[in-house]
Chains A and B, each alone.
Chain A
Amino acid sequence: MRGRIAGLLLLVLACTASAQSPVPPIEATPTADPPPAETVVAGLSSDSVAITASFDGSDILIYGAIKRETPIPPGPPLQVIVTVEAPSRGVTVWRKERKAGIWVNAESVRIGAAPGFYAVATSAALDDILLPEWDSRYRISLSHAMRAFAGQIAVESAVPFTEALIRIREDQGLYRLDEGSVSLIDQTLFRADVNLPANLVEGAYKTRIFLLRDGQVIDVFVAPINVRKVGLERWLYRLAFDQPFLYGLMSLAVAVFAGWGASAAFMKLRRP
Chain B
Amino acid sequence: MQIYLPIAEVSVNAFTLIGLGGLVGLMSGLFGVGGGFLITPLLFFIGIPPAIAVATGANQVVASSVSGVLAHVKRKSVDFRMGGVLLAGGLVGSWLGVWVFTLLQRVGQVDLVVQLCYVVFLGLIGAMMLQESIRALRRSNAPGYRRRLHQHNWVHRWPLKIKFRASGLYISAFPPLLVGVAVGVLAAIMGVGGGFIMVPAMIYLLGMPTKVVVGTSLFQITFVTAFTTLMHAVSYNTVDIMLAVLLIVGGVVGAQFGTTLGAKLRAEQLRILLALLVLAVCGKLALDLFLTPDDFYVIQPGIG
Segment at the interface with A among B134-142, B196-204, B276-284, B286-294: B286-294
Bound complex: CA of A110 vs CA of B302, how far in Å? 8
User: Do A252 and B297 form a contact, CB below 8 Å, given A103-B289, A199-B11, A247-B239?
Assistant: no
- Interface residue? B40 (CB, 8 A): no
CB distance from A220 to the nearest CB of B (A): 30
Is the beta-carbon distance between A201 and B9 smaller than 8 angstroms? yes
Which residues of the partner chain A approach B1 to less than 8 Å between Cβ atoms? 54
Segment at the interface with A among B63-71, B80-88, B93-101: B63-71
Which of A54, A112, A248, A256 sits near B303, CB closer than 8 Å? A112
In chain A, positions 191-249 with a C-beta closer than 8 Å to chain B are 198-202, 229, 232-234, 236-237, 240-241, 244-245, 247-249
- Interface residue? A168 (CB, 8 A): yes
Is the beta-carbon distance between A164 and B304 smaller than 8 angstroms? no
Which of A150, A164, A255, A263 sits near B244, CB closer than 8 Å? A255
- Interface residue? A23 (CB, 8 A): no
Bits for B51-72, please: 1 = Cβ < 8 Å to A, else 0: 0000000011011111110110
Which of B234, B237, B249, B303 sits near A90, CB closer than 8 Å? B303
Is the beta-carbon distance between B296 and A96 smaller than 8 angstroms? yes
Bound complex: CA of A161 vs CA of B9, how far in Å? 25
User: Do A165 and B299 form a contact, CB below 8 Å, given A198-B11, A248-B230?
Assistant: yes
Which of B10, B108, B248, B255 sits near A94, CB closer than 8 Å? B108
Which residues of the partner chain B approach A247 to less than 8 Å between Cβ atoms? 233, 237, 239, 241
Which of A54, A251, A260 sits near B233, CB closer than 8 Å? A251
In chain B, positions 1-22 with a C-beta closer than 8 Å to chain A are 1-4, 6-7, 9-11
Is the beta-carbon distance between B244 and A259 smaller than 8 angstroms? no
Is the beta-carbon distance between A110 and B10 smaller than 8 angstroms? no
In chain A, positions 5-55 with a C-beta closer than 8 Å to chain B are 51-55
Which residues of the partner chain B approach A254 to less than 8 Å between Cβ atoms? 63, 241, 244-245, 248
Bound complex: CA of A165 vs CA of B296, how far in Å? 11
Size bin of chain B's contact surface: 35 or more
Is the beta-carbon distance between A262 and B239 smaller than 8 angstroms? no
Between B11, B65, B108, B249, the greatest number of chain A beta carbons within 10 A of the residue's beta carbon is seen for B11
- In this complex, what residue of B is CB-closest to A171? B295
Which residues of the partner chain A approach B108 to less than 8 Å between Cβ atoms? 92, 94, 105, 108
- In this complex, what residue of A is CB-closest to B252? A262
Is the beta-carbon distance between A91 and B299 smaller than 8 angstroms? yes
- In this complex, what residue of B is CB-closest to A240? B237
User: Do A244 and B71 form a contact, CB below 8 Å, given A105-B298, A233-B6, A255-B59?
Assistant: no
User: Do A105 and B62 form a contact, CB below 8 Å, given A55-B11, A151-B303?
Assistant: no
Which of A150, A236, A249, A258 sits near B63, CB closer than 8 Å? A258
CB distance from B56 to the nearest CB of A (A): 8
Between A102, A111, A255, the greatest number of chain B beta carbons within 10 A of the residue's beta carbon is seen for A255
Is the beta-carbon distance between A56 and B230 smaller than 8 angstroms? no
Which of A57, A232, A252 sits near B229, CB closer than 8 Å? A252
CB distance from B291 to the nearest CB of A (A): 8
Bound complex: CA of A52 vs CA of B125, how far in Å? 43
CB distance from B158 to the nearest CB of A (A): 34
Is the beta-carbon distance between A251 and B302 smaller than 8 angstroms? no
Is the beta-carbon distance between B4 and A255 smaller than 8 angstroms? no
Which residues of the partner chain B approach A198 to less than 8 Å between Cβ atoms? 2, 4, 10-11
Which of A91, A168, A232 sits near B302, CB closer than 8 Å? A91
- In this complex, what residue of A is CB-closest to B4? A55
Is the beta-carbon distance between A93 and B297 smaller than 8 angstroms? yes
Is the beta-carbon distance between B304 and A110 smaller than 8 angstroms? yes
User: Do A110 and B303 form a contact, CB below 8 Å, given A251-B229, A255-B248, A259-B62?
Assistant: yes
In chain B, positions 234-268 with a C-beta closer than 8 Å to chain A are 234-235, 237, 239, 241-242, 244-245, 248-249, 252-253, 255-256
Which residues of the partner chain A approach B298 to less than 8 Å between Cβ atoms? 93-94, 96, 105
CB distance from B240 to the nearest CB of A (A): 8
Bound complex: CA of A96 vs CA of B252, how far in Å? 39
- Interface residue? A104 (CB, 8 A): yes
Is the beta-carbon distance between B4 and A53 smaller than 8 angstroms? yes
Bound complex: CA of A47 vs CA of B302, how far in Å? 28
CB distance from B95 to the nearest CB of A (A): 15
- Interface residue? B112 (CB, 8 A): yes
Which residues of the partner chain A approach B11 to less than 8 Å between Cβ atoms? 55-57, 198-199
- In this complex, what residue of A is CB-closest to B298? A94
A-B contact pairs, 22 of them (CB 8 A): A53-B3, A53-B242, A54-B1, A57-B11, A89-B302, A91-B299, A94-B108, A94-B299, A96-B297, A96-B298, A97-B296, A164-B296, A236-B241, A245-B233, A248-B239, A254-B244, A256-B62, A256-B226, A258-B63, A258-B245, A263-B70, A263-B71
9 new A-B pairs (CB below 8 Å) besides A90-B303, A164-B296, A240-B233? A91-B303, A96-B298, A105-B112, A241-B237, A247-B233, A247-B241, A248-B230, A248-B239, A256-B62
